[in-house]
Structure 1
Amino acid sequence: MIKKIIIGIIVVAAVLLLFKYCDFKKDNEDDITYNTNLIQQQIVNVGKLVVTEGHFSEVITYKNQQKYLMNMVSFEKKALIVVNADVTVAYDLHQMKYDIDEKNKTITIVSIPKEEIKINPDIKFYDVEQSKLNPFTGDDYNKINKSVKANLAKKIEKSTLKSNAKNRLISELSKILILTNTMGWTLQYEGQVVETEKDLGQQLKL
């Protein structure tokens, strides 16, 4: 009789432990699912177009000469060109690729889109001089437009516009870093752990 009672107690205890284990496992799974959803939502919030704007101006003198009769006669055209350009440097974070490892509580940034630079110049001509034998043509305007954009590209490289855009990008990505740190997850990029915003800038090579 006592033996049956002991066996019964053991069976009941085993059943209770089994239920408790199942509840614990369920709570664990619910917690992982909640954390994963929260992280995915944060990435969605970060996944937007980060745009930094700048304005540049320059003055160009354009000259072209057409020669005839063994270079004895020439016809020149020239103009003073004033350029005002709005420039944007953008990172489309909708294109960012990432991987979430729920088991190891790790987010890996797989790739970040390259910056997109858009130059919108407003070109105005002043002091235009031309002749019927050497007038301004579509080819001249194409050359001028190409030259303007090349000069502006050099100015952009020497300016702080691109670095400002990169700082804004890091600021956006830091929102993911803050959340992972708060939740006890790990953020990685190219096999390295990102622990601080400074790490983020260095490891993303920005």
Structure 2
Amino acid sequence: MDFLTTVLLLLVGAGGGIGLASFLQKRSGITNVQRDSVLLLERIEKVFKVVMAEGYFSEIYNYQDQKKILYLLNDPKKAMVIAKSKVLVGFDFAKVRFRVPVTGERKLVIESFPEPEVLSIDTDYRFYDIQAGILNHFSGADYTQILEEAKQAMNERAMQSDLPKIANNQIQYMMYQLASSMDWQLQLPEAEQRKLEAIKAQAEELTSKSATRPAEE
């Protein structure tokens, strides 16, 4: 038996063994799945961000991409994503500008206060009705783009809701209470100060009603 014949027999035997092993594995229902992950810590930053409101949203996001075959026939691919998210809205106190008057007054003057922002979005994505085209298939980059666009849509929806308004009212009243507890006076920018006075008036009215209700009964 020459060398070439020996090599061919070895290759045929190896191929047959692999085929037999694959057949037996499918018949037995055993699947060999290997998973591995590597955690990389890029950086740690010190932040002073305060969450003042959270909201729960559900969204149906439809993705469709049209591709021409030979510039004549449409070859669309589409997918539907259902996203359920918990959105946290609050403030980055690193953006606050304030000063204390040099006269020695126990007053904190807030010169500039940031707008409320989305601090985090925790989302559960589910893909449904994925339909690839004849040549227009889905790639890993497509799925990444779909998730990014769905997350951006959720961010915009959260900022258009009542969450920013609720967060604003919460932070102003919290700062007022904190300053009062330390016998300090809080002064916000003019527009914010008017909002704070309205919030304080509503809180005092509710407190007054709660205190007088038992006596009235």
TM-score after normalising by structure 2: 0.55
Q: Give ranges in structure 2 of 5+ residues lacking alignment.
A: 1-47, 201-217
Give the stretch that moved more between structures: 133-142 or 56-65.
Answer: 133-142
Give the partner amino acid of 1:59: I
Work out whether 1:65 is the aligned partner of 2:66.
yes
Shift of 1:56: 0.8
TM-score after normalising by structure 1: 0.58
Whether the 8 Å contact between 2:90 and 2:117 is mirrored in structure 1 is yes
Give the partner amino acid of 1:69: L
Q: Give ranges in structure 1 of 5+ residues lacking alignment.
A: 1-46, 202-206
Shift of 1:104: 4.3
Shift of 1:137: 1.6
The match for 2:52 is: 51
**Structure ranking higher in helix proportion:** 1
For 2:111 and 2:170, the matched residues in 1 are separated by 19
Identity of aligned residues (%): 27
Work out whether 1:141 is the aligned partner of 2:118.
no
The aligned runs of 1:1-206 (5 Å cut-off) are 49-72=50-73, 74-93=74-93, 96-101=96-101, 103-105=103-105, 106-117=107-118, 118-131=120-133, 133-179=135-181, 183=183, 186-190=185-189, 197-198=196-197
Give the partner amino acid of 2:168: K
**Structure ranking higher in strand proportion:** 1
User: Structure 1 residues 103 and 91, CA, compared in 2 at 3 Å: closer, same or farther?
Assistant: same
User: Structure 1 residues 135 and 95, CA, compared in 2 at 3 Å: closer, same or farther?
Assistant: same
User: Structure 1 residues 94 and 63, CA, compared in 2 at 3 Å: closer, same or farther?
Assistant: closer
Give the stretch that moved more between structures: 162-171 or 135-144.
Answer: 135-144
Deviations 1:12-52 (A, max 9, x none): xxxxxxxxxxxxxxxxxxxxxxxxxxxxxxxxxxx872332
User: Structure 1 residues 144 and 119, CA, compared in 2 at 3 Å: closer, same or farther?
Assistant: same
Shift of 1:77: 1.6
Whether the 8 Å contact between 1:177 and 1:196 is mirrored in structure 2 is no
Shift of 1:132: 6.0
Give the partner amino acid of 2:154: L
The alignment covers a number of residue pairs equal to 151
User: Structure 1 residues 123 and 48, CA, compared in 2 at 3 Å: closer, same or farther?
Assistant: closer
For 1:137 and 1:80, the matched residues in 2 are separated by 15
User: Structure 1 residues 100 and 199, CA, compared in 2 at 3 Å: closer, same or farther?
Assistant: farther
